[in-house]
Amino acid sequence: PKINEDLRLLDGMLVWMKRKAIASYVDQFRAALAEVQKNGGRIYLAASGSSYHAALTAAYFFNSLAHIPVYSCNPGIFRSMYLSSLEDADMLIGISQSGETKDLVDVFLEVKEKRPGVKRASLVNNESARLPKHLSDFYLPMLCGPEIAVVATKSFISQLGLLYILAAGQVSPEREVAAALRAARDMMVEGFAISAKDVEDAATKLFAKSSIHVLGTNLLGLAKEGALKIREVALNHTEGGEAAEFKHGSNTILGRNSILSLADLESFLDSYRDLAAARPPEEKSKAREILRANPSLIEGLPCGYPLIFLCAPDERDARVTISQIHTHKIRGADILLFAERRQDLALAVAGQPAGYKEYWSRYIEIPRSGNPCLFVFCAAMLLQYLAYKMSVLKMEWLDALGVQGHGVHPDVPKNVSKSIAIE
């Protein structure tokens, strides 16, 4: 008992010391950000993969909450667009789960060599890594524990939390920032309770689709991260972008199906088998000749192209989203929307366009907060759940078909690694 009591006391002291250290780290960050603003410098957020998408979302936080511009970029963008124009008053913040990402480390080395006056800081999960230990003036730890899955999920949410603290902390007292994050946590719990079933239904509809677009209204980082999660674990081609940009060329993918998924291939082979059965057994033709003579084989393929919309609780965002939904569903899009419950959004999603009997839609409800920044946390979690369910369904389907080495897995998909340590 005495040993247990001593261990509890030691553990309590270590936790207290860590909390005190982190409070000091946060103060350093806030002071540095304030100094950059005072001196007319610029703030750059550099990161790769999911961390880059967190950086894009951080720009949304800083703009909305603190009215401070930050420049979010991946290492290639930073090197090609900003490196040569850095000033000593600027600040570079690297975001990395591993703290060892090769291209990000290289950027920090170049800045350290060419612009030593620039402040360098980092947000990392691995505090012993090169980025925080040797290349940053100071850092802030995520403290989210190791990722069980290869793909970033809880580290992405933790990055959002830290970046929200830094942005909101520029204009709000600490108690208000803490209360907002508790509200975000509660929204995530409630959101899963009320919308998990709808997400699972959507996954059943989407897991076999060959291509998907995730469209965020003013939520580029969140849209790109949602798309990346689906692409990583379900291996469906998925793009993330601004909702209003989709009409500038990407919308050509709507309408007549010209890209085959495995489910489409099943449907095509069934139709082809029926056609072949009606032909004389001695007649042989090349596939292209058969398709040219029977265009119905292609014309009969499903044409509902899935668009996933993300709409935060903002009046202008809602108007833009409604306009985009109407614009695209009449051209052959199926609609999945993540948003707080609104009657006008619900009507836009549910209304069946003329001549499109197979139209499918689903409204994934985010708990009401009226706060666009807190919306991001719950929507991110539900997008991760959508990708997870799609991956499981597709993995089970391919396993049942006997497809070997398909690489679909929610925790260890093919070609994805924890730390990118090569060029």
pLDDT tens, residue order, the chain (423 aa)? 556 666 666 566 555 566 677 777 888 888 999 999 999 999 999 999 999 999 999 999 999 999 999 999 999 999 999 999 999 999 999 999 999 989 999 999 999 999 999 999 999 998 889 999 999 999 999 888 887 778 889 999 999 999 999 999 999 999 999 999 999 999 999 999 999 999 999 999 999 998 999 999 999 999 999 999 999 999 999 999 999 999 999 999 998 776 777 777 777 777 777 776 666 665 666 767 777 777 777 777 767 899 999 999 999 999 999 999 999 999 999 999 999 999 999 999 999 998 888 899 999 999 999 999 999 999 999 999 999 999 999 999 999 989 999 999 999 898 876 656 555
| pLDDT the model gives residue 282 | 57
Tokens of 297: 């084989």
**Cβ-contact 302, 264 below 8 angstroms:** yes
pLDDT in tens, 362-382: 999 999 999 999 999 999 999
Cβ atoms of 29 and 140 within 8 Å: the answer is: yes
**Residue 299 to residue 293: CA distance in whole angstroms:** 12
Residue-level pLDDT at 88: 95
Position of tokens 């991760």? 384
Q: Taking the model in full, what pTM does it have?
A: 0.90
* Residue of 95, 141, 88, 128 lying closest to 112 (CA atoms): 88
Q: Please give the backbone phi and psi of residue 261, each rounded to the nearest 5 degrees, phi first.
A: -95, 175
CB 369 within 8 A of CB 183: yes
**Residue 102 carries which side chain, given as an amino acid letter?**
K
Cα–Cα dist 389/385, whole Å: 6
**DSSP alpha helix (H) spans, 169-261:** 174-206, 220-234
For the packed helices 2-38 and 154-168, what is the interaxial angle rounded to 10 degrees?
Answer: 50
Angle among Cα 382, 385, 387 to the nearest 5 degrees reads 115
Own/partner contacts of 192-199, CB < 8 Å, gap of 24 or more, are 192/381, 192/382, 192/385, 194/365, 194/367, 195/364, 195/365, 195/366, 195/382, 196/385, 198/362, 198/363, 198/364, 198/365, 199/364, 199/382, 199/385, 199/386, 199/389
CA-to-CA distance for 389 and 206, rounded, in angstroms? 10
pLDDT of residue 421: 56
Question: Which residues, at least 6 apart from 133, have a Cβ–Cβ distance to it below 8 Å?
Answer: 99, 127
Q: 45 by DSSP, 3-state: which?
A: strand
Q: Half-sphere exposure of residue 191, counting CA atoms within 13 Å on the CB side?
A: 31
* DSSP calls for 333-360: EEEEEEEE--HHHHHHHHPPPTT-TT--
Q: Which amino acid, 195?
A: S
Distances (CA, A) of 46 to 71, 119, 157, 214, 326: 8, 13, 17, 23, 36
Distance between CA atoms of 169 and 132, rounded to whole angstroms? 22
Which helix or strand (DSSP H or E) is residue 381 part of? helix 372-401
Q: 12-38 burial, b for 16+ CB within 10 Å, e for fewer?
A: eeeeeeeeeeeeebbeebeebbeebbe
pLDDT at res. 11: 60
- The closest of 264, 269, 268, 257 to 332, measured between CA atoms, is 257
* Residues facing residue 211 across a β-bridge: 237
